[in-house]
Amino acid sequence: MSADSPPSRSSLLAGLGRRIFGWRLMVGLAVALGGIEWLTPEPFFAPGHRVSQCLAILFALVGLALRAWGSGCAGRHTTTAKIEAPRLVTGGPFAYLRNPIYAGTICLGFGMAALIGDPRAYFLAALAFVFLYVGIVPAEEEFLRKQFGEAYAQYCAAVPRFLPRLRPWPGQVRQAFHWRAARGELATLCWATGIYLALLGEEWFDKVIG
């Protein structure tokens, strides 16, 4: 691309992703907290909702487990405020898909939306994910292409972004599991539980004073 040619859409999205990367957690929390007043949760484990809510909790826990697995394989740098990668991670869940932590976040988010039971919760979750990942994923990929060159190109050619392979990539490199990074997902569980309890509490309060 020449100096006078306009930047491509992918480079523009990557630029957006770099700017919002350090705020990714705050954006997600802001959307979730903003939904407390707007959403109306279904009663927890009330007749008629038990099966769907059990499935929703299971889906959310699968997402949380995928995040913990990915974080443990990648290490603590996944929580930093800037894009960095001391090594190319291809083992564990990264042998099946390139973005297991984000895929886990999506499972967790839609699982929580299903637990809440208000259709608007799905809209909020989708809005947050599109806003965040449409920019962040291209920014990370641009960084990894520059950092690891042909090794990353081979990895991208073999492993999809979000839809997992049926079998792990044979070229994966297994490395030590970082339990401290995986245990950090307990904070994610606490946030998700706290937001859901706040929704139930706000709904109960509205009924009491209403």
- Is residue 198 pLDDT above 70, yes or no? yes
Three-state SS sequence of the chain = CCCCCCCCHHHHHHHHHHHHHHHHHHHHHHHHHHHHHHCCCCCCCCCCCHHHHHHHHHHHHHHHHHHHHHHHHHCHHHHCCCCCCCCCCCCHHHHCCCCHHHHHHHHHHHHHHHHHCCHHHHHHHHHHHHHHHHHHHHHHHHHHHHHHCHHHHHHHHHCCCCCCCCCCCCCCCCCCCCHHHHHCHHHHHHHHHHHHHHHHHHHHHHHHHC
Give the C-alpha separation, 70 to 77, whole Å.
Answer: 12
Locate 158 and state its tokens: 């073999």
Distances (CA, A) of 113 to 45, 121, 180, 190: 15, 5, 28, 16
Question: Which pLDDT score, from 0 to 100, does residue 54 have?
Answer: 96
Instruction: Give tens-digit pLDDT for 79-88.
Output: 777 888 889 9
Q: Is the pLDDT of residue 207 over 90?
A: no
The pLDDT tens digits of the residues spanning 101-121 come to: 999 999 999 999 999 999 999
Confidence band of 10 (pLDDT split at 50, 70, 90): low
Q: What is the pLDDT of residue 2?
A: 43
Closest Cα to residue 66, out of 182, 173, 155, 191? 182
**Residues 114-141: tens digit of each pLDDT:** 999 999 999 999 988 888 788 889 899 9
**In the prediction, which pLDDT does 177 show?**
94
Q: How confident is the model at residue 7 (pLDDT cuts 50, 70, 90)?
A: low
Position 132 scores a pLDDT of 78
CA distances, 183 to each of 21, 28, 97, 130, 135 (Å) = 22, 20, 22, 27, 27
Q: What is the mean pLDDT of the chain?
A: 88
pTM: 0.88
Name all domains of the chain by residue range, CATH numbers in brackets.
Answer: 9-209 (1.20.120)
Residue among 141, 163, 150 at smallest CA distance from 96: 163
Tokens of residue 39, six digits: 């959403």
pLDDT at position 178 over 90: yes
| Dmax (CA) of the chain | 65
* pLDDT confidence of residue 9: 62
